[in-house]
Amino acid sequence: MKTHYKISQFFVPAALLLIWITGLTSCKKDKDNYPAMPAITIEGDSTVSLKPGDAIVVTVKFDAPGPDTRLLINKNSGPYRSIRLDENAVSYTFNEDMVSETAAEGDSITYEFVLTNGANQKKSSTVSFTANVEVYPTITIGSETLYNVTIPEDGILTSGAITLAPKRKYYISSSIEFSETTKFSAGTGTEIYLNSAATNKINLTFDAGSQVNINGTATEPVVITSDKTLLGTGAAAGDWGVFNIKGDGNGSNSGSVNHLRLEYGGSRAFRLQDVGNGTQVDYVQVYKSLEEAIMVTNGDVNMSHLITTDCQGAGYRLGDAYAGKIQFAIALTTIYTAELDEFTVRETASPVIANLSIIGPGETVNNTSGMRLRAASAAKIYNAIVAFYPRRGVRLNDDVVITDLNGPTVFAYSYVFKVPKDPFRDDRTGGTNPFAGTYSGGVGSNPFFNNITFSSTGVRSYEEIDGIAVGDYTPTATKASAFNPAILNSFFKEAAFVGAIESPDKDWTVGWVRNPDGTIRTAN
């Protein structure tokens, strides 16, 4: 009995162990009986364009998934549906959703599909399907298909927003005025073509209280241009009117403009009125416009990285009581268009400007001029270049007051050259332009530290900058300046060099600015 008891004592645990091992083996076999990782694909295109109210229909295909399989669906990264599939199913058509009637241009809806077997023990890879929202109908201009922006009643948007999606091309047939509280947005790479045949030249006007959001990049700017660039009928200055932002005065915020190229606009193509320094304006080109390319009156908006190219009626006009700051600005003219000044500060404007390049069409063209400071203005300008004009590099008029580096009007640490007649002109009563320095008693004085030296007989000479030429605003190498504008105000960047471009390897116009010949600027 004793021996039998010991055998029984051994046998019971052994039996339990055998049962446990058998169970494990059985479970392993059951698990191994699940199908291999199922493949899943989208039938047809994985990205489609739909309009508000359209049904969303997508078919997913997969291997026969086996028993107890679910199709899990996420919508915009969140859980949306869990659907039990027949074990022999090879596809599923999802048609349970639609684009919201309130969806905006450029909105997108993304669905993710994944298969799970059993208690989530095996999953397929995830496949995605995206529906992009198109609000506008299409129109063909030349050989291009564009989205035809709906013009609001009477051309006035009284509420809501007009949004133009990134990397899409749009057509605007007539002027639009954006009332207070409305918004306009254009994303990276958006191209906007304006109807050159409109009865009245097209203006895009943004009233005080509206918001503008232009979000281009150095490789994909937002472009507003003439539809003639698509029609092949010769786009020209004046094909459309103005891009006009009206603000609420000093300190106000009208939005942001980043990497915008305006082509073939009319008089004052980029027009800012009473725009405040809460507004960001950075990287703007005006290309081949009529009259002034950039006109700013009143307000105190700060701006940087501006360029005007072959505009027929001057590059810049800063007037009325404008009191903002500007850094890194270029005015480039390669052709004679009229007897005018390329850069003018007038009325009571008091801008502070650093790193400015004004490059003219050459010393032998007709009587176009460089910079003019007039009326009762009080501009402070540092680290500038004015070059390649037949006359009047820097001209003073009217009631402009100049004392010294701390006075109301300053033009200092700057270069004026290749201006054979009156490089520093003074039309004030009895005035002699002090920015050119003085020579008396055999001694020359240059209190504004400009590029002037005197011979032993008092003849002035003007140091030049290598690389600066007609049609070229990039120096061969950095031309250092003793003045760093960063000391002026927190708006100004470190830039102890002369001109808007420091050197060829630091050319901020590369990739998005159009050259006078129409090509996009590339690195030297």
Instruction: Note whether 419 and 490 are same-domain residues.
Output: yes
Both 412 and 497 in one domain: the answer is: yes
Helix/strand/coil percentages in the chain, nearest 5: 10, 40, 50
pTM of the model: 0.89
Q: Same structural domain for residues 108 and 252? A: no
145 and 98 co-located in one domain: no
CATH of the domain at 89: 2.60.40.10
- Which of 270, 290, 310 is the last residue in one of the domains? 290
Is there a domain that residue 28 lies in?
Answer: no
Strands, E assignment, 298-388? 302-309, 316-319, 325-332, 341-345, 352-359, 369-373, 380-387
How far apart are the C-alpha atoms of 308 and 294, rounded to whole Å? Answer: 8
Tell how far CA 188 is from the center of its chain. Answer: 7
Same domain, residue pair 74 and 140? no
Judgement on whether residues 343 and 250 belong to the same structural domain of the protein: no
The answer as to whether 105 is a domain residue is: yes
Of 118, 133, 148, the residue at which a domain comes to its end is 133
Asked if residue 202 lies in contact with residue 224, where contact means CB atoms within 8 angstroms, the answer is no
Same domain (yes/no): 168, 62? no
2 belongs to a structural domain:
no
Whether residue 446 lies inside any domain: the answer is: no
Q: Are residues 115 and 155 in the same domain?
A: no
Is 71 among the domain residues?
A: yes
In a domain, 217, yes or no: yes
Rounded-to-integer distance, Cα 95 and Cα 78, Å: 18
Q: Residue 305: which of 277, 285, 276 has the closest Cα?
A: 285
One domain, residues 99 and 235: no
DSSP secondary structure, 403-418, as one string: -STTSSSEEES-EEES
The boundaries of the domain holding residue 413 are 302-432+465-524
**Is residue 511 a part of any domain in this protein?**
yes
If one counts every other C-beta atom within 10 angstroms of the C-beta of residue 436, the result is 22
188 and 337 assigned to the same domain? no
Whether residues 94 and 216 share a domain: the answer is no
Predicted pLDDT at 36: 62
Cβ proximity of 286 and 305 under 8 Å: no
Q: What is the pLDDT along the chain (524 residues), one digit of tens a residue?
A: 444 434 344 334 444 334 344 444 444 444 444 456 678 999 999 999 999 999 999 999 988 777 888 899 999 999 999 999 888 889 999 999 999 999 999 999 999 999 987 666 667 889 999 999 999 999 999 999 999 999 999 999 999 999 999 999 999 999 999 999 999 999 999 999 999 999 999 999 999 999 999 999 999 999 999 999 999 999 999 999 999 999 999 999 999 999 999 999 999 999 999 999 999 999 999 999 998 999 999 999 999 999 999 999 899 999 999 999 999 999 999 988 787 899 999 999 999 999 999 999 999 998 889 999 999 999 999 999 999 999 999 999 999 999 999 999 999 999 999 999 999 999 999 889 999 999 999 999 999 999 999 999 999 999 999 999 999 999 999 999 999 999 999 999 999 999 999 999 999 999 999 999 999 999 87
- How many structural domains compose the chain? 3
* Phi and psi, residue 492, nearest 5°: -80, 135
- Given this model, what pLDDT does residue 524 score? 77
- DSSP conformational letter for 476: S
Residue at a domain's end among 98, 133, 168: 133
Any domain includes 452: no
Say whether both 404 and 470 belong to one domain: yes
Beta bridge partners of residue 79, listed in sequence order = 74
Instruction: Residue 150: name the closest of 159, 138, 141, 167 by CA.
Output: 138
